[in-house]
């Protein structure tokens, strides 16, 4: 699997509508709060034109794209961190995901009730972020209590962790999201056992009407400005348009997007943004039996990438036979790539590049 993304937001901002459109999962979507109680999950194949080209040329017996899992988490409300609206249960679901898609309503529609009575994206974001911060603060306070007692033994590692926790708590208490704290990655890496929500990569999903897809309205502009200072990304999407696209086959969907003057669907935009947020890339394995896409973190060595396929391949790694996608695209054949010297033999320390087509040699 590529990665999983939790979809959060206030009730009635379009979360479940967008989830259904992206995943075709058929989750309940209604004009009232808490129509989602247990999180809905949907797996979506990651569209990749490179893989389509490889499949066209190799003609394998089976094709396995990488996938992204979307998790539709119930709408949070004020007081969620204190248990309002089953808040603690919902917050625990958010802790499990790799990235967060925070849906923000950026359109007016008198037929769709807003839980706060009006459309105000900055207010809505503040409500959600406050609840997430409160939840992280509570986690830090409990962790500090436990670690303080244990650190009395003189353990230097525990003392180091305690110092980091206290630094984070001081910042969070001032209303800072962990991901906006300078050097937060290194700090959080020392506390891997604590899944802080506000340290997770975030994309704000601005749910807009059809007209705003081409030119930002004031609500979207405000979201972009806020995100720029928060180490977050913004994806603009129309839940209603995505619902229409979901009913079409791929060819019809492409024609529909062209007629709308859009280069890509909201799903493609969210996946691309997710890969950027999580620093991911895709490599391929290709043969007559199967063409398969694999998602890994950028900077991973060939041996570690082999382990994503199977631990035995990582353990018995001998070498990687690597063809870059650009060379394959130019030549159209693995055999010709080999004959032309474009298939390289790489060792275990080789850093896998986006689009690499790899065959791993290994001892059993």
Three-state DSSP state, 350 = coil
Residue by residue, DSSP assigns 285-326 as: EE-SSEEEEEEEETT-BHHHHHHHH-HHHHHTEEEEEEE-HH
Q: What percent of the chain has pLDDT over 70?
A: 89
Among 10-19, 33-42, 132-141, 209-218, the range scoring the smallest mean pLDDT is: 33-42
The domains found in the chain, sorted by start residue, are 3-277 (3.40.50.300), 299-362 (3.10.20.30)
pLDDT level of residue 96 (50, 70, 90 thresholds): confident
Place 36 in a pLDDT band, splitting at 50, 70 and 90: very low
Number of H helices, E strands in the chain: 14, 12
Q: By mean pLDDT, which of 19-33, 141-155, 181-195, 247-261 is the weakest? A: 19-33
Question: 250-260 and 239-246 are packed helices; what angle lies between their axes, rounded to 10 degrees?
Answer: 150
For the ranges 13-22, 51-60, 217-226, 277-286, the lowest mean pLDDT is seen at: 13-22
Higher pLDDT, 293 or 3: 293
The per-residue pLDDT of the chain, averaged, comes to 87
DSSP at 178:
G
Decide if pLDDT at 29 tops 50.
no
């Amino acid at each position: 699997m590529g990665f999983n993304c939790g979809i959060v937001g206030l009730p009635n901002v379009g979360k479940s509508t967008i989830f259904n459109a992206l995943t075709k999962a058929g989750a309940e979507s209604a004009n009232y709060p808490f129509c989602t109680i247990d999180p809905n999950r949907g797996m979506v194949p990651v569209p990749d034109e490179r893989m389509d080209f490889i499949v066209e040329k190799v003609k394998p017996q089976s094709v396995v794209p990488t996938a992204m899992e979307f998790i539709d988490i119930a709408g949070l409300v004020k007081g969620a961190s204190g248990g309002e609206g089953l808040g603690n249960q919902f917050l625990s679901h958010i802790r499990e995901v790799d990235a967060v898609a925070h849906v923000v309503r950026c359109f007016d529609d008198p037929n769709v009730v807003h839980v706060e009575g009006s459309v105000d994206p900055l207010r809505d974001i503040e409500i959600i972020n406050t609840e997430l911060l409160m939840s992280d603060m509570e986690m830090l306070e409990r962790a500090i209590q436990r670690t303080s007692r244990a650190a009395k033994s003189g353990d230097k590692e525990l003392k180091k962790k305690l110092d980091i926790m206290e630094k984070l708590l001081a910042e969070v208490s001032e209303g800072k999201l962990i991901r906006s704290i300078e050097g937060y990655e290194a700090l959080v890496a020392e506390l891997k056992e604590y899944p802080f929500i506000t340290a997770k990569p975030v994309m704000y999903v601005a749910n807009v009407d059809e007209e705003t897809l081409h030119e930002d309205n004031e609500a979207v502009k405000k979201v972009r400005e806020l995100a720029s200072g928060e180490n977050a990304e913004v994806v603009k999407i129309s839940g209603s348009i995505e619902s229409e696209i979901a009913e079409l086959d791929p060819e019809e969907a492409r024609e529909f997007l062209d007629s709308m003057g859009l280069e890509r669907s909201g799903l493609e935009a969210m996946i691309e943004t997710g890969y950027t947020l999580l620093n991911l890339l895709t490599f391929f394995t290709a043969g007559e039996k199967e063409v398969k896409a694999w998602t890994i973190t950028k900077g991973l060595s060939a041996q570690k990438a082999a382990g994503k396929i199977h631990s035995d391949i990582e353990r018995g790694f001998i070498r990687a036979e690597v063809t870059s996608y650009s060379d394959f695209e130019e030549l159209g054949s693995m055999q010709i790539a080999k004959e032309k010297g474009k298939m390289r033999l790489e060792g275990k320390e080789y850093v896998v590049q986006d689009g690499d087509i790899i065959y791993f040699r290994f001892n059993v």
